[in-house]
Structure 1
């Protein structure tokens, strides 16, 4: 049985471009029928334009015939899909092109390894075999040289070694001596003779009849038809087997991890060889990621600052006070019954009365005017005002009207300037002795008023021992759900108006103000994040543009990889890896730059909140950008026709 059999193969190109043009396409091959047996050394000879290169492309499964049958070992390859053809090229064919077709960014050994890479050969075995082949072809001293560092003859030897990497049962040599001087050409022909003697099937495409005469069989083609065939098949009788035959057939496909590692290595080399362009591409991603991190940090800081400004008297706290009285409409004071009424409302979590007036506090010979207040045990919970030293008075103190007090930081500094511990000591409040049992945490200044300049005693003690009445100055109310703050404030006013028979109380709805400002700050943060994200998208568009340009520049490389057995998924993975590697590198640099900006802002006193989630999200978006915007160029590369790709300049 023949190794290769062509039956009435025809190939035509082109369609009419304008009305009136010749409607028939250009016929390049006109019914080629040919059988090639294993072990033959066949020369296909013909003038330029005779169709011999087209015939070689069809023989090597780089192109498909327009009609006719191509049988390989008795199987019709016309039904093979792109991946099946890639496997056939990888396992059966080795190409030696006139223009060498070496990948310029890879070394001699790495060029030779390419077919084995797509065959799934382990790295160590692949490297050892490539080295052995190059040493066999007297290229051992040039293993790590790039193509531009090699002479024409040396590059052709690398191409021959590559053709043998997976066994090279069939060597397709297209004008292998056309670009060489006579001495190098003779060396290449000697190598081809050695391969034929070793049992390889060698198909030589040439226009030089002297070169063709060195083959065992000469097939002459003219105007797309075979016009002569010497039929000399003495080589077919040989049973010698190639020393390299079938070496890769048992490996199957490479593992995903190996493919990704190799793709990343090749991608990095391409990026490094185009450093300036890569740097400009990275810049867009870096700016986008850094902007997202910095702007979200600034927005988060602003939001935190808004909350901090309202935390003086609790985030979920609103206040009730009697309206200002007038001669015509005097207002009644608030009562403890009003506190109970407010507590009964659905969204009210707690309510505590507070009675306050100016008092004079004394310790020793130091007098100080301060704000005196009386409240119940829920004070520190409702207002979020903790005690940093000592303790807060409890229900027993309230019940007994105990003469105990907690003092603010300003009072502490004024009365205890000597540095003594205030807890346990006695002070006078409007000439009434009280024992200090705790010190309130610092709250700072709100609306020009020092919140730390105060003394607080149990409500019962304040009413009985200092102020002489039990009417709260105001009532602090803590709500459960901030979203219902406005409805709760309205309910308080309505309920108290019904009980007091007059609408004479005012509810300061700080909760709604906090909620609105918090939502505004959150919206601003989101807006800043979206603006920064736009810059990230712009960077992604830059990646796509660069990848499209890269695919165009490396079209021939894509053809070379396809000719050596790369599947469409291999090409897709290669270019997708490059896009993701660019955006990952840009994302990493962007995170570093973003963190540096946040650090500088912190040193400058700008309120910022670093978010690890925002940093990870920005980096993830950068990588996702690479996947999204790199897909179209990668898909375009994967869908290239091998013949068209190889013919590109």
Structure 2
């Protein structure tokens, strides 16, 4: 072996024509052939040409050193040879196949199956141990996980890293990291090893060990191409090509090839199935999310809040709607309410147009179950030092039938009580609690506006009305008694009409007949009829609108969370640009890169969806336990979870596409 490359270069004629020899020693097609290759870079209006018409042939099993000073174009040439970059012009044939005719997936296949890269800065994934880094190229093949693991461990053992294979790059020395990168280059066979300044970041001892490994690989039949500026490193090669300013200055063979062996066969680099690709992308994405757990948690937060808001707000909205409908329905869905005053007339409560005789006439209609007049007003109640103001309702004995309101204790007054002007009263639960807190009110007496009444019954609890009024804060008295002794008038506040059925057709017939008989009696439409069914429908529509509004607000928060996912993923792409470049260098297709980042976004969204569903259901349960009516339904849960999936899919696509479109060379050069 010669002592230095420079000695050899002075001993033989120097080729200055800029063209490498065309003829191969074997007389056959060379492994790599490039003709007239140029490479230019555009920076604004400035064009910089790095390579000028490079011609070169590299045979199977060659150990070639491409040497040159910084800026000579040697790294650019290596990127073109390794299919990481494309020439601006010229031709490149690999095993007789024109590389320019290959699409990005074909180039990825070449990098995955034929080339193995050894970088000066090692380019190992910081969050993965030596085994996982070595396995990386095979993760884009159909090789099973067990086979990948076994081959990676065998390669690391062969390279003297048996005791360090489960350590991460930060736990390895520079020489050990470079051995891991060599193992990675051999993972899929490494027919051609491209080593860019493989000793540049190493001490002299580690550098010698790495070059010895590359020399050993050459003797095993691997084609080794070393890029270096160090002539001592180049002296290990069998052939040295020197570049200067983008031109081939010389191409010298220092010695004949030491071995004619063929490189060991790789494990096979066939493309994995779509299902396998999806599963591996999922595990890769999950591992990446786990490495950045804090950032993942912040990304999840927006989705969690959005999903929980959708579920809880829709449950509360549906509960409020159901509560209003139930309260109105509890008053009777078969009711018609007749009020004095023409339709749309203001201040109709003071209009004296309805009388109890109108109620008697309505009772004669076959479709009417009961019609009762109601004469109401606030009056003061007194009993042995207790007094309170409450609503008094003078009505008929059929009131419990018309309003479907049962008596809890005692009895309601009768028609006979009404005819005899009896001073009897039936009280609501609120009145019973407040006026008779220390005794049973049945049989007790009380004063209503200084008129003595005896309590004969207590109504069942009704609760608040849809308008918030306490329906149990009331006293019922016979109509004639109240009209004469409490109100001093015969005209009524309203007439409540209960139809025999809540069927819409029956209600419509009853409505028309009530309208006709009152119009006949009054001669003018000085009354207004309200259908309780229409009130329920109106209330339902109003509550549906409110629920929709709440849902829209919640969905907006979910969209905001989705935008947060997109922003975080875009930041992740920027931070992991070098990782993307490494994956592309070892053979990942654009679709596989895109799938990985898309799955990361979808995984974040789905995980956030699961947590958000649990949180939303928990919040809803707490609100329900506090007494607020809520409605648990499957649809809002499925809607929220589906929205979280779509959020990840839609807002994750842009970052995933950006990652897949990165240029491998620029990505690898990223800091």
- Alignment partner, residue 2 of structure 1: 30
Residue number in structure 1 paired with 2:369: 352
Matched-pair contact (CA < 8 Å) for 2:64–2:237 = yes
Kindly state the Cα deviation for residue 117 of structure 1 after the two structures are TM-superposed: 0.8
Q: Is the 8 A contact 2:119 2:195 kept in 1?
A: yes
Whole-angstrom distance in 2 between the partners of 1:144 and 1:547 = 29
Aligned residue number for residue 632 of structure 2: 610
Q: Of 318, 343, 351, which residue of structure 1 is paired with 2:336?
A: 318
Offset, 1:533? 1.8
CA distance in 2, matches of 1:595, 1:325: 49
Given that 2:30 and 2:59 are in contact with CA atoms closer than 8 Å, whether structure 1 keeps it comes out as yes
Please give the residue correspondences for 1:287-326 in structure 2 after superposition, counting only pairs within 5 Å.
287-315=305-333, 317-319=335-337
Q: Deviations over 1:102-126 (max 9, x none)?
A: 1111111111111111122111111
Q: Which residue of 2 aligns with 1:247?
A: 267
SS for the counterpart of 1:203 is: strand
Say whether residues 1:132 and 2:154 are aligned partners.
yes
Matched residues in 2 for 1:355 and 1:210: separation? 113
Q: Residues of 2 paired with 1:602 and 1:62: CA distance?
A: 61
Query: In 1, Cα distance between the equivalents of 2:353 and 2:203?
Result: 118
| Residues 1:171 and 2:211 aligned together | no
CA distance in 2, matches of 1:230, 1:80: 31
**CA offsets per residue over residues 151-183 of structure 1, 9 Å max, x none?**
111111111111111111111111111111111
Gaps of 5+ in 1: 344-350, 359-368, 389-407, 419-439, 455-472
SS for the counterpart of 2:163 is helix
Output the CA distance in 2 between the equivalents of 1:79 and 1:144: 41
Indicate yes or no: 2:39 matched with 1:11.
yes
What residue is the counterpart of 1:108 in the other structure? Answer: 130
Report SS of the residue matched to 1:289.
helix
Using the alignment, how far apart are the partners of 2:628 and 2:351 within structure 1?
Answer: 46
Contact 2:37 2:53 in 1 (8 A): yes
Q: 1:109, 1:131 within 8 Å by CA — same for their partners in 2?
A: yes
Q: 1:625 to 1:326 in 2, by over 3 A?
A: closer
Q: Say if 1:615 and 1:537 are closer, same or farther in 2 by CA, change over 3 A.
A: same
Q: RMSD of the alignment, in Å?
A: 3.9
Q: Name the CA shift for 1:598/1:169 in 2 (closer, same or farther; >3 Å).
A: same
Q: Any idea what SS the aligned residue of 1:65 has?
A: coil
Deviates more, 1:253-262 or 1:572-581: 253-262
- Partner in structure 1 of residue 285 of structure 2: 267
- SS of the residue 2:257 aligns to: helix
Q: What is the CA deviation profile of residues 391-438 of structure 1, one whole-angstrom value per residue up to 9, with x for unaligned ones?
A: xxxxxxxxxxxxxxxxx999xx9xxxx9xxxxxxxxxxxxxxxxxxxx
Whether the 8 Å CA contact 1:45–1:221 is kept in 2: the answer is yes
1:67 corresponds in structure 2 to: 89
Q: Distance in 2 between matches of 1:353 and 1:231?
A: 116
User: What is the deviation of 1:187?
Assistant: 1.1
2:84 is the counterpart of 1:84 = no
Contact 2:125 2:579 in 1 (8 A): yes
Shift of the 448–644 alpha-carbon distance from structure 1 to 2, 3 Å rule, reads closer
Q: Do the aligned residues in 2 keep the contact of 1:40 with 1:233 (CA within 8 Å)?
A: no
Name the residue aligned to 1:571: 593
Distance 1:590 1:570 in 2: 29
2:145 matched residue in structure 1: 123
Listed as ranges, the matches of 1:137-536 within 5 Å are 137-231=159-253, 234-235=256-257, 238-243=259-264, 245-249=265-269, 252-315=270-333, 317-319=335-337, 333=358, 352-354=369-371, 475-477=497-499, 491=512, 495-496=516-517, 502=523, 503=525, 506-536=528-558
- Paired with 2:335 and 2:268, the residues of 1 have a C-alpha distance of 76
Question: What's the TM-score, normalizing by structure 1?
Answer: 0.77
Instruction: Select 1:623's aligned residue among 618, 627, 645.
Output: 645
Alpha-carbon distance in 2 for matches of 1:383, 1:535 = 44
Secondary structure of the 2:369 match is: strand
Would you say the 8 A contact 1:322–1:333 is kept in 2?
no
Alpha-carbon separation, structure 2, partners of 1:327 and 1:163: 100
CA offsets, 1:437-476, max 9 Å, x none? xxx997667666569999xxxxxxxxxxxxxxxxxx7542
Shift of 1:340: 5.6
Number of residue-to-residue matches in the alignment: 557
Gaps of 5+ in 2: 1-28, 342-348, 376-392, 409-426, 433-439, 441-458, 477-494
1:396 aligned residue: none
Q: Find the residue that maps to 1:248 and give its secondary structure.
A: coil
- Structure 1 residue 513 displacement after superposition: 2.4
Deviation (angstroms), 1:593: 1.9
Deviates more, 1:119-128 or 1:329-338: 329-338
Deviation at 1:263, TM superposition (A): 2.6
Q: CA deviation at 1:333?
A: 3.5
1:603 & 1:597 partners in 2: Cα distance? 10
- Contact 1:325-1:331 within 8 A present in 2 as well: no
Provide the C-alpha distance between the structure 1 equivalents of 2:471 and 2:306, rounded to a whole number of angstroms. Answer: 44
Cα distance in 2 for residues equivalent to 1:325 and 1:601: 42
* More divergent stretch after superposition (180-189 vs 506-515): 506-515
Given that 2:38 and 2:52 are in contact with CA atoms closer than 8 Å, whether structure 1 keeps it comes out as yes
Corresponding residue for residue 402 of structure 1: none
Query: 1:327/1:609 Cα in 2 relative to 1: closer, same or farther (>3 Å)?
Result: closer
The alignment partner of 2:603 has SS state of helix
In structure 2, relative to structure 1, the CA distance for the partners of 1:256 and 1:386 (3 Å cut) is farther
Q: Hey, what's the Cα distance between the residues in 1 that align with 2:261 and 2:398?
A: 109
